[in-house]
Amino acid sequence: MQSPLRLERRLTQPKWLNWGVPLLSLLGALILGAVVLIASGKNPISVYMRILERGFASTDAFSRTLISATPYAFTGLAASVAFRMGLINIGGEGQLYLGTIGAAFAGIAFADQPTPIIIAAMIICGMLFGGFWAAIVGVLKAKFSTNEIITSLMLNYIAAILLDYLIFNSKSYWRDPKSFGFPTGKRLVEGAYWYDMSFGPITVPFGFLVAIITAGIVWFFYNRTRFGYEVSVIASSPSAARYAGIRTRWKIITVMSLSGALAGLGGASDVGDFRHVLDAKGVQIAGYGYTGIVVAALARLNPISAIFVAVFLGGLSNAGYALQGPDFPSGLVGTLQGLILFTAVAGEILTRYRIKRQTHVAEGVPA
């Protein structure tokens, strides 16, 4: 096998990679996306322009974008905190479902309380439910070293079945007894709606502010505390962690639960800011949890960057909803997100290797 290019290990990581790689990835994804669009007979420029227009270009559109961005920010943070310890939690989806169940429960149960108490209860229940769902994965991993990728994914499917069960297949606490024909969840009282904050013409959902604060806390936790230091040691070298007496098992359970709690908080924000009901189908179609993986990858696991990436992807999917139709088929947004993830993953190669032109093209170096 001879190739004109070769990969050479980088000894140091220049600073420009931190922003250069995500930008290059994004550019690459847009180009690949254009290829897909052209192949299916669409004009990529006009599709991209319309995404820009409907996702970002007006204050209205941007306000709606922030609503979509909020759960992405949380699931992105959820994926980041786990990935940073080398735990591949891809159960953000299911953990977020549990968060919506918990938040809807609190919203129904505390309906006669003042709004701040309801919101607090929704946040806490969302986090508890999501955290519990992820803790299952953490415990299995810590106790039996069961592969967390597959277990967390299986729990996504189980959570989806649970959601369907609560709304469609049982007379549960969450189901509206007055709904006939197509069953729905109990609608929350208006007192359980989360605040809308206005910053000039832009409406910022309360959940988005919580996400920003959460990102700051996560950053501090991971960069300035003993906890974060221990997590980074475990991530980089499990045997060094054992050598230093760091209790890896507990950390696995803690970090998984934390990750799940953040995803659950995302579910709570979705109920509080947007749906105001346990919407079993809607939340499954949204695919927030899977998108969180894209957010984390493109943000290179940095919690602050995750917020910006979430806004970007929120705009993309908001535009997707707004434009959906024969001209703008469903699945397009998912495809573009997938492409972004690809290029972000492939872009990581630039941080580890330099691509060099082969010096002796005639001879070639075995790849």
Partner 1 sequence: MNNNILVIILASGVFYGTPIFFAALGELFTERSGVLNLGVEGMMLMGGVSAVWASQHIPGSSWFVVLCSILIGAFAGSLVAALHAFLCITLRTNQTVAGLSITIFAGGLGLSSYFANVWDVASETVKHPIRILNPGGLSDAPIVGPIIFHQTILTYLSWVLCVLSLIYLFRTRTGLKLRAVGESPQTADAMGINVVKYRYIHTILGGALAGIGGTYYSLTIVPQWVDGVTKGAGWIAIALVIFGFWRPDLTLLGAYLFGALQSLGLILKSRNIEINGSLLDAMPFIMTVVVLVLVSGGWAHKRLQAPASLGVPYEREER
Partner 2 sequence: MADYIDSKLTVTMKGIVKRFPGVVANDGVDFEARAGEVHALLGENGAGKSTLSNVLTGLYRPDEGTISLNDEVVHFDSPREALERGIGMVHQHFRLVNSFTVAENIILGEQTKSIMMDSSAAIERISTLATQYGIAVDPNARIWQLSVGEQQRVEILKALYHGAKILILDEPTAVLTPQEADALFVVLRSMVAEGRTVIFISHKLDEVMAVADRITVLRAGKTVSTIECATTTTRDLARLMVGRDVVFDRVVRTNHAEPDNVVLQISNIDANDDRGRQALTSIFLTVGKSEIVAIAGVAGNGQRELAEVISGMRNATRGTVAVNNEVIPNGRVRKSMSAGVSHVPEDRLHTGLVADHSVEDNLILKSYRRAPISKFSILRRSVIRDQATDIIEKYDVKTPGTTTPVRLLSGGNVQKILLAREFNSSPSVMVVSSPTRGLDVGAIENVRKRLVEAADSGVGILLISEDLEEIFALADRILVMYEGTIVGNIAAHNATRESIGLLMGGIAIHQETN
What is the binding site for partner 2 (CB under 8 A)? 8-12, 224-227, 229, 232-233, 236-237, 239-240, 242-245, 359-360, 363-366
Q: x/- site string to partner 1, residues 37 to 66, per CB under 8 A? A: ---xx-------------------------
224 binds, among partner 2, partner 1, none (CB under 5 to 8 A by kind): partner 2
281 binds, among partner 1, partner 2, none (CB under 5 to 8 A by kind): none
- Of 125, 126, 153, 161, nearest to 137 by C-alpha is 153
- Give dist(CA 81, CA 87) in Å, integer: 9
Q: Rounded to the nearest whole angstrom, what is the least distance from the CB of residue 210 to partner 1 in the complex? A: 26
Q: Which stretch binds partner 1 (CB under 8 A): 33-41, 54-62, 125-133, 240-248?
A: 33-41
Q: Which stretch binds partner 1 (CB under 8 A): 14-22, 96-104, 159-167, 258-266?
A: 159-167
CA distances from 9 to 23, 235, 301 (A): 22, 21, 22
- Choosing from 2, 46, 147, 223, the residue that interacts with partner 1 (CB under 8 A) is 147
- Give dist(CA 83, CA 44) in Å, integer: 33
Task: Give me the amino acid identity at 140.
Answer: L
The reply on whether position 17 binds partner 1 by CB under 8 A is: no
Q: Rounded to the nearest whole angstrom, what is the least distance from the CB of residue 10 to partner 2 in the complex? A: 8
Residue placing its CB nearer to partner 2 in the complex, 230 or 270: 230
Q: Rounded to the nearest whole angstrom, what is the least distance from the CB of residue 174 to partner 2 in the complex? A: 39
Q: Which H or E element spans position 198?
A: strand 196-199
- Give dist(CA 32, CA 52) in Å, integer: 17
Exposed e or buried b per residue across 118-153, where buried means at least 16 C-beta atoms within 10 angstroms of its C-beta: bbebbbbbbbbbbbbbbbbbbbbbbeeeeebeebbb
Q: Rounded to the nearest whole angstrom, what is the least distance from the CB of residue 274 to partner 1 in the complex? A: 19
Q: Rounded to the nearest whole angstrom, what is the least distance from the CB of residue 223 to partner 2 in the complex? A: 9
- Collapsed DSSP state (helix, strand, coil) of residue 203: strand
What number of other Cβ atoms are within 10 A of residue 241's Cβ? Answer: 19
CA distances from 117 to 120, 188, 324 (A): 5, 14, 38
The reply on whether position 145 binds partner 1 by CB under 8 A is: yes
Name the DSSP letter for residue 273. I
- Give dist(CA 304, CA 219) in Å, integer: 7
Residue placing its CB nearer to partner 1 in the complex, 24 or 36: 36
If binding means CB under 8 A, how many residues of this protein chain bind partner 1? Answer: 53
337 binds, among partner 1, partner 2, none (CB under 5 to 8 A by kind): partner 1
Residue placing its CB nearer to partner 2 in the complex, 116 or 364: 364
Name the DSSP letter for residue 195. P
- Choosing from 15, 331, 359, 362, the residue that interacts with partner 1 (CB under 8 A) is 331
The reply on whether position 161 binds partner 1 by CB under 8 A is: yes
CA distances from 130 to 93, 124, 157, 253 (A): 10, 10, 14, 13
- Of 73, 95, 69, nearest to 258 by C-alpha is 95
150 binds, among partner 2, partner 1, none (CB under 5 to 8 A by kind): partner 1
- Of 116, 6, 25, nearest to 363 by C-alpha is 6
Residue placing its CB nearer to partner 1 in the complex, 115 or 232: 232
Rounded to whole angstroms, the maximal C-alpha distance in the chain is 79
- Choosing from 158, 209, 212, 322, the residue that interacts with partner 1 (CB under 8 A) is 158
222-281 positions binding partner 1, by CB under 8 A: none
- Give dist(CA 291, CA 295) in Å, integer: 6
Q: Which H or E element spans position 8?
A: strand 5-9
Which stretches of the chain bind partner 1, using CB under 8 A? Answer: 1, 7, 9, 36, 40-41, 88, 90, 140, 143-147, 149-151, 153-155, 157-158, 161-162, 164-165, 169-170, 287, 290, 293-294, 297, 326, 329-332, 334-335, 337-339, 341-342, 345-346, 348-349, 353, 365-367
